Amino acid sequence: LVSGYAHGVAVHTAARVVALAAADQVYVSSTTRDLLGGSGFNIEPAGSFELKGLSGPREVFRVGA
């Protein structure tokens, strides 16, 4: 934390991924998808996206119940 704010690539990535989702959707990065393994959530590919400020396309996943 710097001056009470979180910083870094993980925070930046999360903000960009969340911005892709509609109001009734939950999108996550591949890292979060890996951490959710075995959780019982239905996780489906949402596509590959260029995220502003990050190099190369990133795989994004949609989370369902």
| Tens digits of residue pLDDT in 12-56 | 899 999 999 999 999 999 999 999 999 999 999 999 999 998 889
pTM metric for this prediction: 0.84
In a domain, 3, yes or no: no
In a domain, 18, yes or no: yes
Q: What is the DSSP string of 1-33?
A: -BTTB--SHHHHHHHHHHHHS-TT--EEEHHHH
In a domain, 47, yes or no: yes
Domain that holds residue 13: 9-64
In a domain, 2, yes or no: no
In a domain, 1, yes or no: no
Task: State how many domains the chain has.
Answer: 1
